[in-house]
Structure 1
Amino acid sequence: MLRWIIFLIVYFVLGLYTLQALKTISRYPWVYYIFMAIALLVVGNFIYQFTLGETPGRVLSRPKSYAFGFLITMMVFEMVTILFLFSEDLFRLVSATYSNFFGASKEFTFPQRRRFLSTIALGIAAIPFGALLYGMYKGKYNFKVLKYTLEFDDLPDAFDGYRITQISDVHSGSFDNRDKIEYAVELINRQESDVLLFTGDMVNNMAVEMDPWADLFSTLDATDGKYSILGNHDYGDYVEWETEEAKEKNLEDLKKLQKDIGFDLLLNESRFLQKGKDRIALVGVENWGKGGFKNAGDLKKAAEKVSQDDFKILMSHDPTHWEEKVLSDDYHYHLTLSGHTHGMQFGIEIPGWVKWSPAKWRYKHWAGIYSEKGAYINVNRGFGFLGYPGRVGIWPEITVITLKKKSLV
């Protein structure tokens, strides 16, 4: 109860501050009333969804997700506005203190300055406000195909030019537009890659979330097959299950579902992709992550049938596994494919110029290709979305990686 009280106090203080900015630049009362009505509607819906809503508890349903998204959008608008106005108030406080201390007769009031700053503040605040709304409306389905070519000295000759499509973090429980998902599945198939690799988090929490989409994802196709691993959300750890048996059944249902739609699920296992006498070892571990995330991945067990000399591709959901365990392993894993971070679903990316997201404050490797010790990792930005029901700047990703034999010349 205390945290709700604190939250409401903070929210209404932010709202009152923003309301003052609106009153400074507009003399029309209906502007204030609309703002107050929206602010109350947003916070009321948020409180309802997270207390008395359809799915109480820890499960993040679509209504909860949108309630959270609109709350974040409103609070960002208010906080950006306040950053400008607080600086003005601080200036006025210092000015007033100076005037009183030195007995200056001049009164330090700047109504025109205040009006100007309020206009600038609200104008700048409207940019992230609009971007977050766009992210919920269209950005979350703004699928991008990102293509990379990676060269290796010891790539088997028969795999020169081999194409891999990677998708990750489907989070099917968040989908709300079948036409967009149909388009994305078609876009994946249009790449005509040799193999399709899915690196975890098919659902948010429960296997049943994938049921409406199973027929669609079963149409995914690749010449050498489709392979998958589990992500931290696939285990059902974020649900308050009535019994442990129910939780175990959910996981078994998800494993069966993946098989039914044509994925070969690797549970600390390996497979070989064969072309004539040449082969590539495909190794898949269960989720391994630091910072409180599930640690079920067993790299040694997964690679039991793999030799030191094999060219190895590792599927591991969480990129922290690469930096903590994989790079220092006795085996050299040429390419690791991960996801998990979503790129925080928010950021700015201009190829060759800017690559930024709050995700970088938590993850050393958070999106795209990285190389260390002669090995590569690709961190897929994710196919779906979770929490905030949108994406801004960090768009849903389909990765296509072409393996090339490095030229000796």
Structure 2
Amino acid sequence: MRSFVISLFTTAQILITQSRMIARILILLIALLTLPAWGIDCLVLRNKWPRWGRLLFALPHLLLLMALTFTAINESYTMTADAVKGFLLSATLCLVVPETLTVLLLLIGRIGKKQKFFRRSMTVLASLVGALSFMMMLYSFTLGYKRIQTKQFTFTHPSIPPQFKGYRIALISDLHLGTLRHHQDVVQQIVDSINVQQPDLIIFVGDLVNYHVREIEPFRNILSQLKARDGMVSVMGNHDYLTYFRWNNTAERLAAVRQLQQEERNMGWKLLLNENLILHRGNDSIAVIGLENHGNRPSFPRRAKLQQARKNLSPNCFQLLLQHDPSYWEAQILPNTDIPLMLSGHTHAMQLQIGKWSPAAWFYPQWSGLYQQGNQALLVNPGVGEVLLPFRFGAWPEIDIITLDSPLAH
């Protein structure tokens, strides 16, 4: 009886939590899909368009709101549901972002009510910004996530042995294969772009999937084509622990995680789970240390065991650390170690970057590119895939090529 009451109480708590979450999501969706559209109707359409025209303008907003409400209430964690959510959210953003910017500029124009030139100028500007932002969103959803670029970095450090001067490492992260499930051509382009660089080593720093190990199936043969002299090394990202899928029990999830890990090994990848790998060139060697994910929030897995991963390493050996989450650098590496270089991903640069700014900077001090402090450095890869939404603008999918340079070899 006692266990039944506890079970009933736990179920009730889960339902209440889910209900609150759905309510918050619905309130946000209603606000996003109604307020900007209502603003345009009041400021532009009401006195100029016939009623049927205004209803036609409102129709896509109403349909999207109904579809999103149904999806939120009937939340499902299947890959099909993920695809539907991605499409609906993409369509919503294509409407909401241009409309919001348009309304804001129109309201600014209303401030100068008596200044006709200013008001007309702001109206023209609002129209241009609305049209340009719509085209930007459309480009980001249709082509932006396919615009793969390669960046070159050189890292010099006194502990890099002479035989590793010119050693080239290809770094990628965050494939999120579930989002690219219908785009094998994009993954093939990523693989070809890496192979053409002829790197000595390829490193993947986590988030192979979104929710489920099944996402790997269409891409096994493509990802098995990755070639480097010293092979392919990988670590786990927060999504790779499959905690975002609704499993029947923990044992089922853990079995799926083990299957995912085996999938990587079957593709010829060397998966490091708080382990190290020694690479040799002649009489010289360097160590690649692979940590499990260790996030900066309790909802992210925290499984890194740095001391275990560095076991039996010579203190004079150049150490290259792999950790999915870049926040680990400031939290653990800088204050506690002298590890020269850490490679990370995770941030995606929020899949949006304008100039040198990205909203990712609100959450991560180090969100893309190379950061240095003294003799230690962190390189954050903004990812080659996308989570949930196939969207990128400015923060294009990126392959990083790191060339090691040894001052001792000069």
Q: TM-score range by the shorter chain?
A: 0.7 to 0.9
Q: Partner residue of 2:382?
A: 381
Contact 2:108 2:122 in 1 (8 A): no
Q: Partner residue of 1:240?
A: 246
Match for 1:302: what amino acid?
Answer: A
CA distance in 2 between partners of 1:278 and 1:259 (Å): 27
Q: Partner residue of 2:262?
A: 256
Cα 1:117/1:407, change in 2 over 3 Å: same
Match for 2:135: what amino acid?
Answer: G
CA distance in 1 between partners of 2:31 and 2:341 (Å): 50
Q: Partner residue of 2:85?
A: 64
CA distance in 2 between partners of 1:408 and 1:278 (Å): 12
Match for 1:61: what amino acid?
Answer: D
2:205 to 199, 214, 217: 199
Which is further off, 7-16 or 273-282? 7-16
Q: Spell out, residue by residue over 1:289-344, the C-alpha distance to the aligned partner (whole angstroms, 9 max, x if none).
A: 212322111111111121211100000000000111011223x2111100000000
TM-score by length of 1: 0.88
Match for 2:328: what amino acid?
Answer: H
1:165 aligns with 2:187: no
| Post-superposition offset of 1:393 | 0.7
Which is further off, 289-298 or 372-381? 289-298
1:216 aligns with 2:222: yes
Which is further off, 390-399 or 24-33? 24-33
Which is further off, 60-69 or 376-385? 60-69
Q: Spell out, residue by residue over 1:247-289, the C-alpha distance to the aligned partner (whole angstroms, 9 max, x if none).
A: 1111001010000001110000001001121000100000012
Which is further off, 123-132 or 310-319? 123-132
CA distance in 2 between partners of 1:6 and 1:348 (Å): 25
Q: Partner residue of 1:12?
A: 34
CA distance in 2 between partners of 1:5 and 1:24 (Å): 25
Contact 1:58 1:238 in 2 (8 A): no
Q: Partner residue of 2:398?
A: 397
Match for 2:103: what amino acid?
Answer: I
Q: What's the RMSD between the two structures over aligned residues?
A: 2.4
CA distance in 1 between partners of 2:78 and 2:391 (Å): 22
Cα 1:272/1:2, change in 2 over 3 Å: closer
Cα 1:335/1:343, change in 2 over 3 Å: same
1:317 to 307, 318, 324: 324
CA distance in 1 between partners of 2:359 and 2:234 (Å): 28
CA distance in 2 between partners of 1:199 and 1:60 (Å): 27
Q: Partner residue of 1:177?
A: 183
2:104 to 72, 76, 83: 83
TM-score by length of 2: 0.87
1:340 aligns with 2:357: no
- What secondary structure does 1:50 align onto? helix
1:145 to 134, 145, 150: 150
- What secondary structure does 2:335 align onto? coil
Q: Partner residue of 1:227?
A: 233
2:314 to 301, 307, 310: 307
Contact 1:230 1:287 in 2 (8 A): yes
Contact 2:77 2:245 in 1 (8 A): no
Contact 1:313 1:336 in 2 (8 A): yes
Which is further off, 64-73 or 267-276? 64-73
Cα 1:154/1:11, change in 2 over 3 Å: same
Q: Spell out, residue by residue over 1:1-20, the C-alpha distance to the aligned partner (whole angstroms, 9 max, x if none).
A: 64325642553222111223
Cα 1:28/1:145, change in 2 over 3 Å: farther
Task: Give the percent of matched residue pairs that are identical in Structure 1 and Structure 2.
Answer: 31
Match for 2:219: what amino acid?
Answer: W
- What secondary structure does 1:327 align onto? helix
- What secondary structure does 1:267 align onto? coil
Which is further off, 219-228 or 286-295? 286-295
| Post-superposition offset of 1:135 | 0.8
CA distance in 1 between partners of 2:126 and 2:35 (Å): 17
Cα 1:56/1:403, change in 2 over 3 Å: closer
| Post-superposition offset of 1:129 | 2.1
Which is further off, 252-261 or 68-77? 68-77
CA distance in 2 between partners of 1:160 and 1:399 (Å): 18
Match for 2:331: what amino acid?
Answer: E
Q: Partner residue of 2:294?
A: 288
Match for 1:138: what amino acid?
Answer: L
Cα 1:26/1:221, change in 2 over 3 Å: farther
Could you tell me which runs of 5 or more consecutive residues in structure 1 were left unpaired when the two chains were aligned. 93-107, 350-354
- What secondary structure does 2:336 align onto? coil
Match for 1:162: what amino acid?
Answer: Y
